[in-house]
Amino acid sequence: MLLPHMTRGKRVVVTGIGLRSPLGHTLPALRAGLLAGRSGVRAMPEWAALQGLRTRVGAACDGIDAREIPRKHSRTMGRVGILAALSVRDAIADAGLSADLVASPACGVAFGSTTGSSAAQEDFLRPILQDKSIRGLLSSSYLQFMSHTCAANIALMFGCKGPVIASCTACTSGSQGIGIGYEQVRFARVPVCLAGGAEELHVLHAGIFDIMFATSAGFNQTPEQTPRPFDRRRDGLVVGEGAGCLVLEEYEHARRRGAAIHSEIIGYGSGCNGSHPTNSDPDGICIAINAALRDAELAATDIQHINAHATGTDVGDAAEAEAVHRIFGAKVPISALKGYLSHTLGASGALESIATILMMKEGFMAVSKNLDEPDPKIPPLDHVLGSARQASIKIAMNNNFAFGGINTSLVFRALC
């Protein structure tokens, strides 16, 4: 059944970008890493302490200093909150937003993570489980690992008084945060929204995927060679950390204040497989992609570049390839970036949206790192291989999928 199209509403543009990633914490650093083919994945020998864990690779963000955030705010933040807050701080500065505007009902927050701080939760639970005692536990600890810790702490740190929405949908937390923020601005709930997602690296995340046999374990000695999206030798995902924030703003509002504009968001689609808790499904992915195309009032032939979710798992990559091939055939160039960034879980949709915008602005399509031999058992796609393609990209799509069968698709356009 064809769903009705929503009214167009306001135009929504991206006026600020902030990030923390395994490739660096600025757009120039991200650009340099993508063009150099640099991997953010490294060996994690300390994970050997967890019995039964097969994977020994992960991707961390270097140079994170919690002291950059005033203590009165950082005390309620775990590492995930710190990553989120730093990315938001940089995005606000990039957008040139005044402190008064941010700290007003005109500025909303739509930000997510898979969970709160796993390290903070581990520290909180240890004395309860080991000593059967709550003596000495701090009430602020809960605020570090509550599910909406990123959204709440962002609002508190910057004084935001508009709507605060936490998108806690696993690996689509970041992309849903952007999609929700887009809808908040588009339908005039607020003229400005701080949107995105974050995640911290923790062995628990690796363990969860490991017991599902979804992690990469065959490249522990050569971490730069994994994950391998769409590759014949792919053997699973690699968990990582990071954060990404987009300042979303109503176009006329941005124009009146003379803001520089990175790109425009013209489409967002989300849907559910409604079938399996963990396995991706081509039908469900198609629902999200087609919803985004319908929202943007575009045909599949209008999309010039696709940034794939592509985690490097056997089932996930096969389902995504099937869905993309159904809608686009092998005619749209596709980049898969987790070979550089790893799977940053709740941050992935935000960081990969930022990379999508970056490639559009800079006129290149990144190589799908570690994709040496496309899997002949899955439908063929126009993978970017060998070296980065120089291209004038006007319209691009970023796709992300999550446990629970949740799928998202975002469409970005160069401002015109």
Residues with catalytic roles:
171, 309, 343
CB 402 within 8 A of CB 170: yes
Residues in the chain, overall count: 416
End-to-end CA distance of the chain: 33
Quote the distance between the C-alpha of residue 271 and its chain's center.
Answer: 17
Query: Which residues lie below 8 Å from residue 127, measured CB to CB, with a gap of 6+?
Result: 133, 134, 135, 136, 137
CB 64 within 8 A of CB 82: yes
Q: How many CB atoms lie within 10 A of CB 159?
A: 12
Nearest to 411 by CA among 186, 93, 229: 186
Query: Which residues lie below 8 Å from residue 367, measured CB to CB, with a gap of 6+?
Result: 37, 335, 384, 385, 386, 387, 388
